[in-house]
Amino acid sequence: MEKEIENRINKAVDEGKEELFQLLADLVSFPTVSPPARNTSEVQSYIANFLEANQLETDSWDVFPKDPNVVGIKRGTDGLHYHSLIINGHIDVAEVGDQTAWTVPVFNLTKKDGYVYGRGTSDMKGAVAATLFAIKLLKELNIEIKGDLQIQSVIGEEAGEAGTLSCIERGYTADFALVVDGSNRQIHGQGGVITGWITIKSKEVFHDAMRMKMLHAGGLIKGASAIEKMMKIIAGLQDLERHWAVTKQYPGFAAGTTTINPAVIEGGRHAAFIADECRLWITVHFYPNETYESVTTEIEDHLNQVAMADPWLRENPLQYRWGGKSMIEERGEIFPALKMDAEHPAVQLLAACHQQIEKNPVEIGMSKSVTDAGWLGQAGIPTVIYGPGKLEEAHSVDEKLNIEELLSFTKTLLLFIYQWCNTKK
């Protein structure tokens, strides 16, 4: 029976591939770049209509104005006793920049030399199109599933806007989740990322003419430049980053993956004043066996010790603001890490489905990037990343996706849906 299903899936995907390409062309034609974002209403309406036409219940709500999430649910015939599945993908794409650098149309799908080109083909409208096509084939092939299947088309991943977190907050869950972001069809977990602001603010404001009388100039006024004091904090962060490189490790990551990047610095008010405020925006990468709470606590503890060694900073303490639900609205983001269980039955089943279709064993490891998968894992849902597309294609000029990779992924996805949602709890 299972071999017959596999053969029917392979035949249906191969014979229907032009329909898959048209689905992808439709999705690429919506310019859902983020930033600026607030532009996904039309594509999400397209997806909701597609899901409803294929007999899924849908739910849609605005995460931000004109940026709605869409969730579609295909009810299994025995959801109480059989496993449920989330398939999650983001519908926003990376900003384009100078379009004159592209040799193909940015938002019109182009097929050539065994690839499909266009913004989002690899990251990750190709995988979303494959998911939608798989849903349609489930219906057309009369493939019964006993467990519930949930499709999440989310916004905001490119700008850390936590569309997936919004699904979790709305109560959506399942026995397993598959984030179909680009992993070159390898099964991945991931490290985490959090951004934060460190602020130094003087209690007093001084004219530039007072500099000669300040502490660092041997004068009598207990004043200092917030910009110059931030230099000590940056040096402290560099010390901590080097310490992490030799004291922390995790399988699948190169030494030194835990980085602290001083990404943006802002400060001062005018050339005629001593800088009374300085703000540093940092990006922190951490391992799957850490949380963003534990990592930010480490950073604060270390920097507070640095500050205690400085007489002025002792009286003008550091201020911290961590994370946020939007790089656009809050200038802050969080991507929780995903600690993957390679022995989980669903992961083993996905690996088996991959091998059935690809005729080669799947690679299981850790992503060099971050996705929304960490939010699902943090919610207690066993989750992995598995999707078509190479990391180097994401955000690139002339972004492209290998056609055979897209077709193989579609077949594996459909086979996995059939097998997992027909597996008893």
- Vertex 84: Cα angle to 83 and 88 (nearest 5): 145
The verdict on 237 and 292 lying in the same domain is yes
Which residues make Cβ contacts (< 8 Å) with residue 64, sequence separation at least 6? Answer: 37, 38, 155, 156, 161, 326, 329
Q: CB of 85 within 8 A of CB of 365?
A: no
The verdict on 274 and 414 lying in the same domain is no
Average pLDDT over residues 127-151: 97
The verdict on 176 and 204 lying in the same domain is no
Using the 3D structure, point to which of 322, 354, 378 is the last residue of a domain: 322
Predicted pLDDT at 215: 62
Helix axes 17-29, 2-15, angle to 10 degrees: 60
Average pLDDT over residues 91-108: 96
Q: CB of 191 within 8 A of CB of 337?
A: yes
Decide if 245 is inside a domain: yes
The verdict on 203 and 183 lying in the same domain is no
The verdict on 74 and 178 lying in the same domain is yes
pLDDT beyond 70 at 353: yes
Pairing state between β 85-90 and 149-154: parallel
The residues with which 207 forms a beta bridge, in sequence order, are 273
Average pLDDT over residues 361-383: 97
The verdict on 185 and 199 lying in the same domain is no
Q: How confident is the model at residue 210 (pLDDT cuts 50, 70, 90)?
A: confident
Question: What is the percent of the chain where pLDDT is above 70?
Answer: 98
Q: How confident is the model at residue 1 (pLDDT cuts 50, 70, 90)?
A: low
The verdict on 77 and 207 lying in the same domain is no
Predicted pLDDT at 218: 58
Predicted pLDDT at 41: 98
Decide if 240 is inside a domain: yes
Decide if 425 is inside a domain: no
Choose between 204 and 192: higher pLDDT.
192
Average pLDDT over residues 125-144: 97
Predicted pLDDT at 221: 76
Q: Is 84 exposed, middle or buried (0-12, 13-18, 19+ CB in 10 A)?
A: buried
For position 219, which CATH number holds?
3.30.70.360
Predicted pLDDT at 274: 93
Q: Could you confirm whether 92 is annotated as catalytic?
A: yes
Tokens of 110: 């182009």
Question: What is the percent of the chain where pLDDT is above 90?
Answer: 94
Which residues make Cβ contacts (< 8 Å) with residue 352, sequence separation at least 6? Answer: none
Average pLDDT over residues 392-412: 97
Predicted pLDDT at 209: 83
Owning domain of residue 269: 192-322
Decide if 257 is inside a domain: yes
The verdict on 99 and 56 lying in the same domain is yes
pLDDT beyond 80 at 110: yes
The verdict on 165 and 288 lying in the same domain is no
At 216-228, the pLDDT tens digits run 555 677 888 999 9
Q: Could you confirm whether 98 is annotated as catalytic?
A: no
pLDDT beyond 80 at 118: yes
Predicted pLDDT at 355: 97
Predicted pLDDT at 3: 86
Decide if 330 is inside a domain: no
Using the 3D structure, point to which of 272, 293, 322 is the last residue of a domain: 322
**Which residue among the candidates 123, 157, 241, 399 is catalytic per the annotation?**
157
Mean pLDDT (the chain, rounded): 96
Total count of domains within the chain: 2
**Cβ atoms < 10 Å from Cβ of 203:** 9
From the list 128, 176, 186, the residue with the least C-alpha distance to 155 is 128
Decide if 333 is inside a domain: no
The verdict on 216 and 357 lying in the same domain is no
Average pLDDT over residues 377-388: 98
Average pLDDT over residues 400-417: 98
Average pLDDT over residues 253-257: 95
**Which residue among the candidates 6, 67, 92, 241 is catalytic per the annotation?**
92
At 311-337, the pLDDT tens digits run 999 999 999 999 999 999 999 999 999
The verdict on 99 and 114 lying in the same domain is yes
Pairing state between β 364-366 and 187-189: parallel
**Dist CA 248 CA 256 (whole Å):** 8
Decide if 18 is inside a domain: yes
At 163-178, the pLDDT tens digits run 999 999 999 999 999 9
Predicted pLDDT at 223: 86
**Dist CA 101 CA 399 (whole Å):** 12
Predicted pLDDT at 222: 81
Predicted pLDDT at 219: 62
**Dist CA 352 CA 344 (whole Å):** 12
From the list 161, 133, 131, the residue with the least C-alpha distance to 66 is 161
Main-chain dihedrals φ then ψ at residue 179, nearest 5 degrees: -95, 115
For position 354, which CATH number holds?
3.40.630.10
Using the 3D structure, point to which of 266, 298, 322 is the last residue of a domain: 322
Decide if 331 is inside a domain: no
The verdict on 31 and 167 lying in the same domain is yes
Average pLDDT over residues 109-123: 98
Q: CB of 158 within 8 A of CB of 52?
A: no
From the list 13, 28, 17, 16, the residue with the least C-alpha distance to 125 is 28
SS3 labels along the chain: CHHHHHHHHHHHHHHCHHHHHHHHHHHHHCCCECCCCCCCHHHHHHHHHHHHHCCCEEEEEEEECCEEEEEEEECCCCCCCECCEEEEEECCECCCCCHHHCCCCCCCCEEECCEEECCCHHHHHHHHHHHHHHHHHHHHCCCCCCCCEEEEEECCHHHCCCHHHHHHHCCCCCCEEEECCCCCCCEEEECEEEEEEEEEECCCCCEHHHHHHEHHHCCCECCCCHHHHHHHHHHHHHHHHHHHHHHCCCCCCCCCCCCEEEEEEEECCCCCECCCEEEEEEEEEECCCCCHHHHHHHHHHHHHHHHHCCHHHHHCCCEEEECCCECCCCCECEECCECCCCCCHHHHHHHHHHHHHHCCCCCEEECCCCCCHHHHHHCCCCEEECCCCCHHHCCCCCCEEEHHHHHHHHHHHHHHHHHHCCCEC
